Amino acid sequence: MTTAGHATADAARDTTDNKYFQLFGRVGLAAFGLVHFTIAYLAVVGSGTGAVLLAGALVALLIAV
């Protein structure tokens, strides 16, 4: 591996070992899960009333918050 390759590998390792990088990754993963949970919740709640329009689902979400 070249010197540039070593420098790149070291920089990548330093970045992934950074506690803030790991924290942002975990927060992003939690947000990703929250979005999917919200979509699933709206699908379950809306399934009892028939077809749910996207605008109706967004209004329901805004009212719930």
pLDDT digits (tens, 9 = 90+) for 7-26: 888 887 878 888 898 899 99
Of the candidate ranges 4-13, 22-31, 50-59, the one whose mean pLDDT is the lowest: 50-59
Q: What pLDDT does residue 42 have?
A: 77
15 token code pair = 């970045």
pLDDT of residue 57: 67
Are 45 and 64 in contact by the 8 Å Cβ rule? The answer is: no
pTM of this structure: 0.54
Q: Are 42 and 52 in contact (CB under 8 A)?
A: yes
Angle between helices 19-47 and 3-16 (to 10 degrees): 60
Structural domain boundaries of the chain?
A: 3-64
